[in-house]
Amino acid sequence: MALVAGFLAQAMQMALVLIAAPLLTGFVRKVKARLQRRRGPSVLQPYRDLYRLMRKEVVLAENASWLFRVTPYLIFAVTWVAASLVPTFASGLMFSWAADLIAIIALLGSARFFLALAGLDVGTSFGGIGSSREVMIASLAEPAMLLIVFPLALVAGSTQLSNVAEFMVSPDVGLRVSLGLALIALIMVAIAENGRIPIDNPSTHLELTMIHEAMVLEYSGRHLAMIELAASMKLLLYLSLLACLFLPWGLATQGMGVAAYAVGLTSYLGKLAAGGVLLAVFELVVAKMRVFRVPEFLGAALMLGLLGTLLLFLSRSL
């Protein structure tokens, strides 16, 4: 019985990230539009877009290979698995131990690896520019992310997200400089990884500034739907990660019953909404930066992570 309940909770989390992801994207767009004094499309627009893309035919470049056609499903699957491994409404779910934070980062790395390959597959110059810039950004964002893992893991004594989250609600965390640095660095990495302003513009139509959009330029129809959904889930993943690491309040633990799950779910949706509003506000107050300023931005995140780690090596209480 416990097994079935555990399985159900895990399945619920998988369904939740899948369903909530487009909503989050729509919500961020809506908030941005309202802040710009536009009415903006409905928050449900991303679902409609996905539906529409699914119904359309795929226009495939003549020389696209099998890799190009497989990649959308692969990216979707990998991102989905990674997003379901991050605690959302409850920690310690049935399979949460299958991959720790390092493995989740590496899973996202797999998705990016294949997306960058897909960008090169057709052999167009825009695909190349996207892939080449994406791997440059990743080559700094990924180490920065791992250096953020170090202080978290050292403080909590675990790289397992559920354990870190449980530690973070316990009273022995306290205010720590290293965690503060890790938080700032994680936000910077999250912005870069999701291709948000100031790194990349998700709604750009100016070719030379595109990174993510340039890689997926040749995709259409159901393939594009998969990629869009994966991108939404990635945004959700990073917000969940921030929520479960730095705002773990309300998180239910495995087997606490339906009421706790309901509290967890409500607080999770609240955290997502808050994160979405903050993201929208942030995107409106900063300008996009030149692509060769990005290394400085991410280098700062890298240094913050390293500094946080070094502080912890100096003293466990910092």
Partner 1 sequence: MQLVAVALACVAVLLGAAVLAVAVSARRVASTVVYGACLAASSIALAAALVHFAGTSPVTLTLPLGLPWLGAHFRLDALAALFLAVVNLGGASASLYALGYGKHEPLPGRVLPFFPAFLAGMNLVVLADDAFTFLLCWEFMSLASWALVMAHHRVEDNVRAAFIYLVMASFGTLALLLAFGVLAGPDGAYGFAAIREGVQTPLENTLVLALVLIGAGSKAGLVPLHVWLPLAHPAAPSHVSALMSGVMTKVAVYAFVRVAFDLLDGSDWWQSMVVLFIGGGTAALGVLYALMQHDLKRLLAYHTVENIGIIYIGLGLALAFQANGMMAATALALTAALFHVFNHSLFKSLLFFGAGAVLTATGQRDMEALGGLIRRMPYTSFAFLVGCAAISALPPLNGFASEWLTFQAILQSPDLPQWGLKFMVPAVGGLLALSAALAAACFVKAFGITFLGRPRSHAAETAREVDRFSLTAMFGLAGLCLLAGILPGFVIDALAPVTLSLVGERMPAQADVAWLSIVPIAEARSSYNGLLVFVFVAFSASFAAYIIHRFASHALRRAPAWDCGFPEPSVRTQYTAGSFAQPIRRVFGTLIFRAREHVDMPPPGDSRPARFHVDLRDLVWEVLYLPVAAIVNSTATRLNHFQFLTIRRYLGLVFLALVTLLLVLAIWL
Our CB check for partner 1 shows the closer of 42 and 207 to be 207
Our CB check for partner 1 shows the closer of 120 and 177 to be 120
> Do 316 and 156 meet the contact criterion of CB atoms below 8 Å apart?
no
**Residue 88 DSSP class:** S
Smallest gap from residue 314 Cβ to partner 1 (A): 7
Our CB check for partner 1 shows the closer of 128 and 180 to be 128
Smallest gap from residue 39 Cβ to partner 1 (A): 29
CA distance 224 to 231: 10
Our CB check for partner 1 shows the closer of 82 and 279 to be 82
> Phi/psi of residue 252, each to 5°?
-80, 155
Smallest gap from residue 81 Cβ to partner 1 (A): 5
> Do 268 and 93 meet the contact criterion of CB atoms below 8 Å apart?
no
State both tokens at 50: 């996905």
Smallest gap from residue 36 Cβ to partner 1 (A): 26
Q: What is residue 253's three-state secondary structure?
A: strand
Smallest gap from residue 299 Cβ to partner 1 (A): 9
Smallest gap from residue 260 Cβ to partner 1 (A): 21
Our CB check for partner 1 shows the closer of 49 and 142 to be 142
16 - beta bridge partners?
A: none
CA distance 261 to 258: 5
Our CB check for partner 1 shows the closer of 45 and 132 to be 132
Our CB check for partner 1 shows the closer of 130 and 276 to be 130
Smallest gap from residue 126 Cβ to partner 1 (A): 6
Residue among 160, 159, 238, 150 at smallest CA distance from 194: 238
Using only C-alpha atoms, the chain has a radius of gyration, in whole angstroms, of 19
Our CB check for partner 1 shows the closer of 45 and 204 to be 204
Give Cβ neighbours of residue 274 (< 8 Å, ≥ 6 apart). Answer: none
Smallest gap from residue 145 Cβ to partner 1 (A): 8
Smallest gap from residue 201 Cβ to partner 1 (A): 16
State both tokens at 223: 């393939």
201 — alpha (psi -120 to 50), left (phi > 0) or beta?
Answer: beta
Measured between alpha carbons, how far apart are the two ends of the chain, in Å? 44
Q: What is residue 94's three-state secondary structure?
A: coil
- DSSP H helical ranges for 247-293: 258-285
State both tokens at 274: 């808050």
Place of tokens 């909590």: 156
Our CB check for partner 1 shows the closer of 73 and 282 to be 73
> Do 124 and 53 meet the contact criterion of CB atoms below 8 Å apart?
no
